[in-house]
């Protein structure tokens, strides 16, 4: 029997989630091909975080299925979770651990060997430019350092699929370049990346496939050029999602020149 | 501005309750309980006016009022935390004049069940004192001063303890202070108990308390009723001075929070810790990793200080009667009480993780590893404290033959507590202060929930250990062999409860991990 989307790295079918009366994700279907660098864009509240949480086993969907490389996340949980690395947005970390301890914790929780975990942790800290801060408590890290240490935690077990929710939010250009290089190297070696972002420019530069989400549904999906259809991604996005308000003559009191 | 701050508190309370069912349940319990207390105490205050002579009213109100004020000062730190919905640090970016902020925060503190109940009862003392015209004028003023002093005291002690718990040596200093304070209270109570039978003690005690800050405001109308108008007004003035001193103290603590708001969110200054620490010492398995992480949290996170205080201080309090020359039988309870307190203290452990718990969900760590690993810090503490406390009791009593029974009962409580905690913490987390927040704070409604859940957990542990207690009492009667039987039984029953509890807890965890994470993001 053919498992749905077994050729895809991530396959979502009829995924739905409601919070009370609000439908956050509405029968969403999505296939992320293996080896692709996939960008998920959408306005605030479009359901990106909810979708990615359900795709990684952090949030139970009301309906629908999720398969990671052919393994059902909600029945073959352990196997599926071994294949995925996650960087969630807006969730805390065990921030009383040092950077090194936090990475090792993620590895050890997955039952990895301590030698392997420590070696990889040091390599990751070096690559991310955190080697100096390995003994500092994560609570004392800056926003950019926190993103980088989260990425390290997502990579420690060499996952086949990386799910990153807003990996570039609050990250300075230098750290962003570091993160980008690591992700590009990971994708070039056959890994699959799916990330959500507000920064169209970045998605345009990094991703080879894009999906635009609004109101819990996919509005457009395909290769970057298919989705753009001749425009820039930003124009296409505004075009599809709409709702831009014209400020016009409002907020007159805000103009200090009127004094 | 003051009205705005009080309105903000009310709005936050309503919205918070709408968002979180556990908090709502806690609030309903708190309101019901508060109404109960209110009914009983109100009828008492009315009876004091109409059915009893005024000197009885004087004694009851001064002692009762002083106890209430003492409670406001120490309970937030020792047990329940204080409602800090309005974290002063959040006002840092708004240009609110500090004087107005202090008054606003003080009045907004009255928007909570315990404060409201106390405010109503405080004002009801006017009925009790309605024995002369002047008393009816003074009593409401005194009541307002007393009630505001209680609320201000609670904020001062909790803010000060928070400030201390963030300092490097502050945590130890805080522990020591708490120890000293509870010893002091213990000595006072035990010496009063010893003389309780002598007539005239309570009125005498009321006289003394009436001149301490705790009783000044409460005793002012009592003097007026007795005709001592001068001393009544003096007490009222002194009470007012004490309130102002508390407000100034709170204000200066607030200033620290407002001028350095990051300090509230952050922790101790950046320290370098090299190597893996506990992660390198414990077995390199998921269970070992969870254990190492728990131990690090207990050591570095100020929110665990309260638990440590309780576990260390309470059993030591049992030493008091013996040290003050009283009955040393109480010391027998040291090891059992420590085992009891330690055992189920992790019954809400997941709530302390907050949303950081996603790390456990994402890695798919087994329920067994999560359950057992979390017990490590308390197991470690128990393995040192229980045999030690049991030995201390034996030394004081002078009967080493009791050691196996005392240690056995403590061990039984500890292990069954572990079982109960393993199941309960996988059921449903209830709100606790977030990381970096005031560890002596408590979200509204959570205190009542805490009391309820802890009563359930405590009863479960107690009932499970009834057979053990029976044998233990047999050992106390002088049957030495029963002591060893008690220890053996504790090992067998305790391991059984532990195995069953962790097995059941692990099953629950594996079925409900995403739901637990959803609960955690809702209560935060």
pLDDT (0 to 100) of residue B189: 72
How many A×B Cβ pairs under 8 Å? 120
Task: Determine the residue of chain A that is closest to B303 in CA distance.
Answer: A96
Is A150 an 8 Å CB contact of chain B?
no
The predicted structure's pLDDT at residue A244: 67
Q: Report the candidate in A17, A25, A12 with the shortest Cα–Cα distance to residue A56.
A: A12
Q: Nearest residue on chain A to B281, judged by CA atoms? A: A114
pLDDT for the residue A250: 77
pLDDT (0 to 100) of residue A5? 47
Chain B contacts of A106, Cβ < 8 Å? 359, 363
Residue B120's closest CA among B209, B37, B8? B37
Q: CB–CB of A89/A134 below 8 Å? A: no
| A134, A83 contact by CB (below 8 A) | no
**Cβ-nearest to A135 among B274, B292, B360:** B274
Dig out the tokens for B420 from the structure. Answer: 């109960």
Pairing of strands A37-41, A22-33: unpaired
Pairwise CB contact (< 8 Å): B356 & A92:
yes
B174 and B308 in contact (C-beta within 8 Å)?
no
Taking the CA atoms of residue A110, residue A114, residue A119 and residue A121 in that order, the dihedral angle to the nearest 10 degrees is 40
Asked if B443 and B520 count as a contact pair (C-beta separation under 8 A), the reply is no
Mutation target vs B (from A77, A96, A117; most B CBs, 10 A cutoff): A96
Output the pLDDT for position B269.
Answer: 46
Compare CB distances from A108 to B279, B297, B436 and report the shortest one's residue. B279
pLDDT the model gives residue A224:
92
pLDDT value at residue A28? 95
As for the ipTM of the complex, it is 0.92
Q: At what angle do helices B133-165 and B216-226 cross, to 10 degrees?
A: 170
Q: State the virtual CA torsion across A39, A45, A47, A49 in degrees, nearest 10.
A: 70
> CB distance A137–B267 less than 8 Å?
yes
B-chain CB neighbours of A110 within 8 Å are 286, 363-365
Euclidean distance between CA atoms A5 and A68, whole angstroms: 9
Residue written as token pair 């306005």: A43
Sheet holding A37-41, edge to edge: A84-87, A161-165, A192-197, A37-41, A209-214, A217-223
Give the C-alpha separation, A59 to A87, whole Å.
14
| CA–CA distance, B122 with B142 (Å, rounded to integer) | 9
Measured in degrees and rounded to the nearest 5, phi and psi for residue A18 equal: -120, 140
Q: Please state whether beta strands A71-72 and A209-214 pair in parallel, antiparallel, or not at all (unpaired).
A: unpaired
Helices (H), B319-375: 320-323, 334-343, 349-353, 358-363, 367-374
- Cα distance between residue A76 and residue A79, in whole Å: 6
| CB-closest option in A84, A96, A139 to B296 | A96
* Residue A168 C-alpha, separation from nearest chain B C-alpha, in angstroms: 20
Q: What is the pLDDT of residue B272?
A: 57
Does the distance separating the beta carbons of B267 and A139 come in below 8 Å?
yes
CB contact under 8 A, A58 and B514: yes
**Spans of chain A, pLDDT less than 50:** 1-5
pLDDT of B202 reads 82
Query: Tokens 């055992």 label which residue?
Result: B343
pLDDT of residue A2: 43
**Closest CA of chain A from B311, distance in Å:** 22
Report residue A172: phi and psi, to 5°.
-75, 160
B393-396 contacts, C-beta under 8 A, 24 or more apart: B393/B331, B393/B332, B393/B334, B393/B335, B396/B319, B396/B322, B396/B328, B396/B331
Q: How far is B522 from chain A (nearest CA, A)?
A: 11
Q: Do A92 and B435 touch (CB under 8 A)?
A: yes
> Given CB atoms, is A250 within the 8 Å cutoff of chain B?
no
pLDDT at position B325 = 66
**Tens digits of pLDDT across chain B (524 residues):** 888 888 888 888 888 777 777 778 888 888 888 899 999 999 998 888 888 888 888 888 999 999 999 888 887 776 666 666 667 767 777 777 878 888 888 888 888 888 899 999 999 999 988 888 888 899 999 999 999 999 999 888 888 877 777 665 666 677 777 777 777 777 777 677 766 666 777 888 888 888 889 999 999 999 988 888 899 999 999 999 999 999 998 888 877 766 765 544 344 444 556 788 889 889 999 999 999 999 998 888 877 876 777 677 778 777 777 776 667 778 888 899 999 989 888 888 999 999 999 999 999 999 999 999 999 999 999 999 999 999 999 988 888 889 999 999 999 999 999 999 999 999 888 888 777 777 667 777 677 777 888 888 889 899 989 989 989 888 888 888 888 999 999 999 999 999 999 999 999 999 999 999 998 888 76
Residue A160 near residue A191, CB atoms below 8 Å:
yes
């Amino acid at each position: 029997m053919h498992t749905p989307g077994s050729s895809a790295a991530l396959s979502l079918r009829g995924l739905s989630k409601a919070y009370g009366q609000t439908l956050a994700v509405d029968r969403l279907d999505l296939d992320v091909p293996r080896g692709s660098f996939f960008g998920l864009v959408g306005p605030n509240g479009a359901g990106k975080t909810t979708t990615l949480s359900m795709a990684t086993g952090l949030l139970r969907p009301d309906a629908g299925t999720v398969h990671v490389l052919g393994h059902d996340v909600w029945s073959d949980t352990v196997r599926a979770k071994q294949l995925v690395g996650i960087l969630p947005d807006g969730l805390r970390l065990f921030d009383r651990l040092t950077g090194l301890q936090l990475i090792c914790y993620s590895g050890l929780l997955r039952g990895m060997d301590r030698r392997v975990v420590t070696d990889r942790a040091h390599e990751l800290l070096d690559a991310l430019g955190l080697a100096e801060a390995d003994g500092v408590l994560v609570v004392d890290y800056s926003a950019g350092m926190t993103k980088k240490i989260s990425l390290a935690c997502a990579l420690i077990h060499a996952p086949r699929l990386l799910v990153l929710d807003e990996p570039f939010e609050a990250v300075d250009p230098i750290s962003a370049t570091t993160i980008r290089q690591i992700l590009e190297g990971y994708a070039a070696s056959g890994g699959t990346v799916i990330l959500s972002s507000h920064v169209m420019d970045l998605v345009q530069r990094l991703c080879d496939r894009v999906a635009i989400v609004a109101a819990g549904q996919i509005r457009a999906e395909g290769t970057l050029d298919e989705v753009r259809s001749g425009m820039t991604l930003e124009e296409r996005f505004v075009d599809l999602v709409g709702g831009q308000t014209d400020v016009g003559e409002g907020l007159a009191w805000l103009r200090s020149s009127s004094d | 501005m003051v009205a705005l701050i009080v309105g903000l508190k009310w709005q936050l309370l309503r919205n918070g309750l709408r968002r979180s069912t556990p908090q709502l349940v806690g609030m309903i319990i708190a309101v019901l309980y508060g109404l109960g207390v209110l009914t009983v105490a109100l009828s008492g205050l009315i009876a004091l006016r109409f059915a009893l002579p005024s000197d009885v009213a004087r004694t009851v109100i001064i002692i009762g009022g002083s106890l209430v004020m003492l409670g406001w000062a120490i309970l937030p730190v020792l047990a329940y935390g204080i409602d800090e919905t309005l974290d002063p640090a959040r006002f840092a970016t708004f240009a609110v004049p500090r004087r107005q902020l202090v008054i606003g925060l003080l009045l907004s503190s009255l928007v909570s069940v315990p404060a409201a109940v106390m405010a109503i009862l405080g004002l009801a003392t006017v009925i009790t004192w309605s024995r002369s015209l002047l008393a009816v004028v003074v009593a409401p003023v005194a009541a307002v001063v007393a009630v505001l002093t209680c609320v201000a005291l609670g904020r001062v002690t909790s803010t000060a303890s928070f400030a201390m718990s963030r300092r490097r040596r502050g945590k130890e200093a805080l522990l020591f202070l708490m120890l000293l304070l509870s010893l002091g209270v213990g000595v006072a109570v035990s010496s009063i108990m010893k003389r309780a039978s002598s007539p005239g003690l309570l009125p005498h005690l009321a006289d003394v308390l009436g001149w301490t800050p705790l009783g000044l405001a409460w005793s002012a109308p009592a003097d007026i009723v007795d005709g001592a108008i001068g001393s009544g007004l003096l007490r009222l003035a002194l009470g007012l001075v004490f309130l102002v001193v508390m407000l100034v103290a709170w204000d200066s603590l607030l200033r620290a929070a407002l001028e350095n708001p990051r300090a509230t969110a952050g922790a101790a200054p950046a320290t370098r810790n090299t190597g893996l620490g506990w992660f390198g010492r414990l077995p390199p398995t998921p269970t070992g990793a969870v254990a190492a992480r728990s131990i690090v949290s207990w050591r570095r996170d100020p929110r665990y200080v309260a638990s440590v205080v309780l576990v260390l201080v309470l059993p030591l309090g049992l030493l008091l009667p013996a040290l003050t020359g009283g009955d040393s039988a109480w010391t027998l309870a040291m090891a059992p009480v420590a085992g009891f307190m330690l055992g189920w203290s992790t019954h809400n452990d997941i709530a302390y993780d907050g949303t950081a718990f996603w790390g456990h969900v994402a890695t798919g760590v087994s329920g067994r590893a999560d359950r057992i690993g979390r017990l490590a810090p308390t197991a470690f503490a128990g393995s040192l404290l229980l045999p030690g406390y049991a030995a201390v009791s034996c030394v004081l009593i002078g009967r080493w033959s009791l050691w196996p029974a005392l240690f056995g009962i403590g061990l039984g409580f500890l292990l069954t507590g572990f079982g109960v905690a393993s199941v309960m913490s996988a059921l449903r987390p209830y709100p606790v202060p977030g990381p970096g927040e005031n560890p002596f704070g408590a979200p509204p409604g959570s205190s009542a929930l805490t009391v309820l859940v802890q009563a359930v957990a405590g009863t479960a542990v107690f009932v499970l250990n009834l057979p053990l207690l029976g044998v233990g009492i047999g050992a106390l009667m002088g049957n030495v062999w029963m002591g060893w039987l008690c220890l053996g039984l504790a090992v067998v029953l305790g391991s059984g409860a532990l195995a069953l509890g962790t097995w059941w807890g692990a099953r629950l965890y594996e079925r409900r991990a995403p739901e637990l994470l959803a609960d955690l993001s809702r209560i935060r």
